[in-house]
Chains A and B, each alone.
Chain A
Amino acid sequence: MSSIESNNSLAIFPRSWSEKEAGRVPGNIPIWVGILSELTEFGIFFTAYFIAKFNYPEVFASGPLSLNTTIGVINTVILLASSYFMAKAMSNIRRNDYKKCERYLWYTFICACMYLSFKSYEFYWNDLQGFSTKTSEFFTVYYYMTFNHFLHVGWAACAILWVIFRLRSGAYSAKEHSGLEALAVYWHMIDLMWILIFPLLYVLR
């Protein structure tokens, strides 16, 4: 037997690999491949931000003053709350409390919708002030980062609906809930990206 022969269906780990030794993998391996890709993508955005800020310090010092900070704060609170609800959904599925798990998933979904609504309003508000992607280098980076993040929240919200449907179909239990957990870690990753985006665009000058 070859030493690189896989011990799982994805064929990416050597036979010697064991989860017991390496530690638990929350969700599943494919979602972590996705999360790694997203972290790389956002890593490029953040690097672009720092390069642009270094080259255009005045524009980046005045840029945050033009934004609607109140909406930024509201969206931060909404995303943090959504992460909390998602963590509660996870703790309830582990107790086989399906009703509470579903309730918290709906709360998370409502938070996602609220985030998308506030963000859409913010884009509209920016438009009314005359700000666009071409206004300045700051706004180019701002739209580049926030619209991408907006898309991530959008499709993850659709994934919440799918997971609720699967939960109702009896696909998850205290013993087997890797699909739900995969969504949870992905959702937390989106929250983490906003935790970085918020101070970069709204707070620091």
Chain B
Amino acid sequence: MKRLGKLEYYFIALITITFSNTLLGEGFDSTAFITTFVALTVMYKGLVVIDHFMELKEANKFLRLMMRTYFFIFPSLIILSSMF
């Protein structure tokens, strides 16, 4: 049987996170804990796509920083928005 590569594992992880986030969103009210959890997983999903699908891990530092900053700022705003 053909072994799964790194890309396949990340893809499965992204799909799993998507389903778990949806189940959390559907099953529970958006408490601060749920919102923070979802925001952190969104951050993780973004970083995985940036580093492994976009292949920015070994690329230009500025481009990688720019993309990663985006995925730190907006998930942080999600967490912040749950406090109001």
Contact = CB atoms under 8 A, between A and B. Distances in A.
A77 B11 CA distance: 10
A203 B49 contact: no
A81 to B, nearest CB: 8
Contact of A80 (B14, B30, B38, B52): B14
Nearest to A186: B54
B61 to A, nearest CB: 5
Contact of B35 (A76, A202, A204): A204
Nearest to B50: A192
Interface in B69-84: 70-71, 74, 77-78, 81-82, 84
A204 B74 CA distance: 14
A19 B71 CA distance: 25
Interface string A54-76: 10010001001000010011001
Contacts of A83: 49, 53
Given A23-B61, A77-B15, A54 B46 contact: no
Interface residues of A, number: 46
Interface string B1-23: 00000011001001100110110
B50 to A, nearest CB: 7
A77 B46 CA distance: 14
A22 B60 contact: yes
A158 to B, nearest CB: 21
By secondary structure, the B interface counts as helix
By secondary structure, the A interface counts as helix
Interface stretch (A134-142, A170-178, A193-201): A193-201
B18 A73 contact: yes
A22 B66 CA distance: 14
A22 B8 CA distance: 29
A203 B22 contact: yes
B15 A80 contact: yes
A48 B3 CA distance: 45
Contacts of A54: 81, 84
B11 A80 contact: yes
Contacts of B14: 80
Interface of A: 19, 22-26, 32, 36, 39, 43, 46, 50, 53-54, 57, 61, 64, 69, 72-73, 76-77, 80-81, 83-84, 86-88, 90-91, 184-185, 188-189, 191-192, 195-196, 198-200, 202-205
28 contacts: A23-B58, A23-B59, A23-B60, A23-B63, A23-B64, A26-B59, A32-B63, A39-B66, A39-B67, A54-B84, A57-B84, A72-B22, A81-B11, A83-B49, A87-B7, A184-B54, A188-B50, A191-B53, A192-B46, A192-B67, A196-B42, A199-B25, A199-B39, A199-B78, A203-B25, A204-B35, A205-B25, A205-B30
